[in-house]
Every structure is written in C-alpha cells, then in structure tokens.
Amino acid sequence: MTTVTCQHCAFEAPAARTYCPECKKKLRPATVTAAAPPELPALPAPPRQDFETRLQQIAANADPYAHVPSRTTGARTVRPVLAGFTIAALVGVAVTLVLLLVAHTHRADLVHQMKVSPRSVSLDAARHADDDVQNAAIAYLLMLVVTAALFITWLFQLTKVVDDYSPDALRHRPGWAIGGWFVPILNLVRPKQMVDDVWTGSSPEWSHERPAFYVHLWWAAFLISGLLDRIAAQSGDNSLSDVESSDRMFRWAEGLELLAAVLAIVVVVTTTRRVLRVVRPASPHTPVSG
C-alpha cells in the first residue's frame, strides 16, 4: 500500500490521507515513500461530428469539449456573493442591536426616575419607552432569523468545499454545519468545531495553522450573551426594580451580542478568503471575489 511519512511524528499514513491519523497534522505530499498514485482517467473524447458541423464550430470558435464535465474540486461551489449577503445581514443585526441597546437604556433610566420621583415621568413617556423596546426587539429578531439562515448556509458551503479539497480535514461530516446548531448541548461546541476545521483545512502551504484568537473570542461572546439573555428574560417584570434590573442585564447581553456580530463579520471575511485562496488555483472556474 502506498504510504506517506508524516514529517511531524514519522507515522506511515496511507497516501490518500491529507492529515496524519496519529498527530492530526497535515502531511507533506513530497514524502510519498511508495509508487506514485495512478493517473486520473482521461476526459472523454468529444462526440464524432461531420465535417460541415466541425467547420461551423471552428468558424464560431466553439469548444468541442464544452459538453464534457470539468474535473474540478469543490472550489466551483465557493460563492463569495453568499458571504457578502451574510456580512450584510450581520451588519443589520449590529444596527438593530444598537437600537435595542439604546431602547433598553432609555427605559431603564425612566424606570429609575419613576422609583426616585414617581410624578417626574408621564404615562405617555413610559408607554413610548415600552414601544421603542418592543419595536427594536421585533426588528432584531427578524434580522437574527435571516442572519442565522445565511450564516449556516455559508458555513455548510465552506465545509463541503474543504471536504472535497481535503477529506481528512473535518472531524465531522459537513452536514453537522447545519445540524450542529439544533442539537441541545451539542450546539455549544459543534458549530465552533466546524468553523475551526474549515480554518485548519484551508491552511496554505500544508501548514497546520490554528484558528486566530478572534475566532475563539467570537464564540465566547456569542455563548455568554445568550446566557445573559436568558437570565434577563427570567428576571420578570413584577415591579419597577425587576424591570430596571432586567433592562440593565439586557444591555450587557446586547453589548456582547454586538461584539459577537462584529467578530462574526471578521470570521466570515477571513475564512472565505482563506478557502478561496487555497482552492482557487485548483479550478479556473472559481468565481472571483468582489
């Protein structure tokens, strides 16, 4: 069996693998110790054509191999436009978070004034503050649903590309880029694992590059903000003190969510560029990032 000597731990791995089964690091293709792999089968020949049809094709500068499927990697499926839509949606989430943060701050200040001096705040002002919070929350939830759908689709696309380019790069099947978000408990770690694997699997020059610090910071901010959201939602509204403490807790959660949204934009941009940089040379049909 054709094997590859791992340059990190000297383990004799099968030549078909791009990651060492022993140390989980990328293998250098130049260390093949057995016979070279067999050549890929040749592309099928174009169908026979009569002389008149051939002349017409030459006159029209047609390609007789146009009907033959191109033997390329998953790079053809990389669509920077999807990353662009995802980034735009994340920007929308950030904007609605700012509105929600301002609304909660305003209502918390009004509630505090009502506790100190009940007659200093009119009923209309209190109702207006409540309406601002509700409207901002509805806008945020709508943007969050759209963004979640785009982000999950973007992540699934890149995991499919990396799986085609380097089959051993992913610890889990690409489908977990979707399903990992919906399984309780597992959704605390599995989506982050898929992002990490895409990052590592798109490392250039056969290096085992770990995800950048901001990738970990993004996921930490996302998880902590979700926890604070739950705590704030369970604070209740039985009294003015409950409303004030809930609004102040929501402000902390929304601040972290805003940080997570900004870092998610950075993650989408850098990860997409990494995957395009690695797989684009393998396919002349890869779309060019705008």
- pLDDT tens, residue by residue, 141-154: 999 999 999 999 99
Both structure tokens of 244: 């004030």
Predicted TM-score (pTM) of this structure: 0.69
Q: Is residue 19 part of a domain?
A: yes
Q: Is residue 53 part of a domain?
A: no
Specify whether 9 is located in the same domain as 104: no
Question: What is the Cα–Cα distance from 103 to 247, expressed in whole angstroms?
Answer: 9
Question: What is the Cα–Cα distance from 85 to 55, expressed in whole angstroms?
Answer: 45
- pLDDT tens, residue by residue, 44-66: 665 555 556 655 665 665 444 44
Q: What is the pLDDT of residue 114?
A: 81
Q: How many domains does the chain have?
A: 2
Which amino acid, one-letter code, is at 268?
Answer: V
Which amino acid, one-letter code, is at 223?
Answer: L
Residue indicated by tokens 């191999």: 65
Specify whether 236 is located in the same domain as 111: yes
Specify whether 198 is located in the same domain as 119: yes
Q: What is the pLDDT of residue 62?
A: 47
pLDDT surpasses 80 at 161: yes
Phi, psi dihedrals of residue 167, rounded to the nearest 5°: -55, -25
Specify whether 139 is located in the same domain as 15: no
Q: Is residue 57 part of a domain?
A: no
Question: What is the Cα–Cα distance from 24 to 168, expressed in whole angstroms?
Answer: 9
Specify whether 115 is located in the same domain as 25: no
The pLDDT of 117-133, averaged and rounded, is 83
Q: Is residue 183 part of a domain?
A: yes
Range of the domain at 170: 97-280
Band of the pLDDT at 168, cuts 50, 70, 90?
A: confident
